[in-house]
Structure 1
């Protein structure tokens, strides 16, 4: 299954399956839920509510949809990944392999900023406008797209190292994201830390959904 198909699967999990209820979660929420399950053997409903900023009813619906895709199962200990779920999120995390928060700086002007790296996806942007638009859909105030090229952080269509005078941010991105030549980094900015994170995830996922390697 390629990344386009994987994001489509996440979209299928979000879809209402014939229900008339308006859902309060979407693709990046399901991705974050799978990340939580990848990091923990069991996840309780209350933990999902807290980490995803979702109500109990929405969490219950999301788990039901994940079960219909055979991604998860539940016991009294909580929800856990099935073999299919483990393989699915493992493959997706091979591309979206690291994330981190960034303090306000020259390239990330929000009160809160969240960065997501996409392995070998520097080809998937022309100007970064597309990536920014995907973050704004989720309430971000803006976004910055960086490419890692010849061991430098550069803006799309540029060759100048944009972090030449900001060693602190450079060191953070290098140590947290471990970029390699050809990687793309999307940084979403917002007045709320969760909004910055979920907006960055959304932009990363829809970049995967619209560009095949």
Structure 2
């Protein structure tokens, strides 16, 4: 599956296929479930529940959606990706780095911060407002988006060079060590009252940079 259409696919998977109550989860949870199963599978319901901070009822529904879509199958030790699931997981993981919990220094907006790299996403970044709004909607305090242009890290909503992070900046050195970003990548740093909300907000923000 090409990277185009990834977001639309995740949104479709999160929808209730038949009349009834709206699901207690979103496309962000679907994405996180697929990544967790692809990264660590086989993985059981209890562990998925812990990772996604969802009740077992919601996890069972997610597993049912993914099973019906033939993206996963359930084996004795838990859930694993099918061939079709791997075809969705691979481009997702190619675009989205793993989450890193960081000291966000001057970008920190709360006690805990998580960062994620979205590869080749510069063309989808406008002013960073979409990422901030998605993170806040997911329960985070806020988000800062950085675009990588050459050796500089820029905040797209900044109107002056004051928010251009230079290579010698300690935050930049840490981000480069963690993510090895390349020209035209985007980094999103999300802050929240706890790590779980920071992680969920980071994935939510990153998904706004997918097609």
Q: What TM-score, normalized by structure 2, do the two folds share?
A: 0.91
> Could you say which residue in structure 1 is the equivalent of 2:182?
180
In structure 2, list runs of 5 or more residues that go unmatched: none
1:3 is paired with a residue whose SS is coil
Contact 1:99 1:177 (8 Å CA) reproduced: no
Contact 1:145 1:187 (8 Å CA) reproduced: yes
Contact 2:104 2:171 (8 Å CA) reproduced: no
The separation in 2 between residues aligned to 1:122 and 1:7, in whole angstroms, is 17
1:127 is paired with a residue whose SS is coil
1:114 is paired with a residue whose SS is strand
Contact 2:109 2:141 (8 Å CA) reproduced: no
> Could you say which residue in structure 2 is the equivalent of 1:128?
128
The separation in 2 between residues aligned to 1:117 and 1:34, in whole angstroms, is 18
Change (3 A) 1:36 1:98: closer
Aligned residue pairs total 209
Aligned-pair RMSD on alpha carbons?
Answer: 1.9
The separation in 2 between residues aligned to 1:52 and 1:140, in whole angstroms, is 15
> Could you say which residue in structure 2 is the equivalent of 1:50?
50
Contact 1:104 1:111 (8 Å CA) reproduced: no
The separation in 2 between residues aligned to 1:165 and 1:184, in whole angstroms, is 16
Compute the displacement of 1:163 (Å): 3.3
Compute the displacement of 1:30 (Å): 1.2
Compute the displacement of 1:117 (Å): 1.0
Change (3 A) 1:143 1:161: closer
The answer to whether structure 1 residue 15 and structure 2 residue 22 are counterparts is no
The separation in 2 between residues aligned to 1:104 and 1:6, in whole angstroms, is 29
Contact 2:112 2:193 (8 Å CA) reproduced: yes
> Could you say which residue in structure 1 is the equivalent of 2:164?
162
Q: Which shifted more, 46-55 or 131-140?
A: 131-140
Compute the displacement of 1:108 (Å): 2.3
Q: Which shifted more, 151-160 or 75-84?
A: 151-160
Q: What TM-score, normalized by structure 1, do the two folds share?
A: 0.90
> Could you say which residue in structure 1 is the equivalent of 2:26?
26
Map 1:169-208 onto structure 2 (within 5 A). Answer: 169-208=171-210
Structure 1 runs, 4 residues or longer, greater than 6 Å off: none
The separation in 2 between residues aligned to 1:140 and 1:65, in whole angstroms, is 27
Compute the displacement of 1:202 (Å): 1.0
> Could you say which residue in structure 1 is the equivalent of 2:37?
37
Deviations 1:8-59 (A, max 9, x none): 1111111111141332211111111111111223001110111111111111
> Could you say which residue in structure 1 is the equivalent of 2:109?
109
> Could you say which residue in structure 2 is the equivalent of 1:140?
140
Map 1:56-75 onto structure 2 (within 5 A). Answer: 56-75=56-75
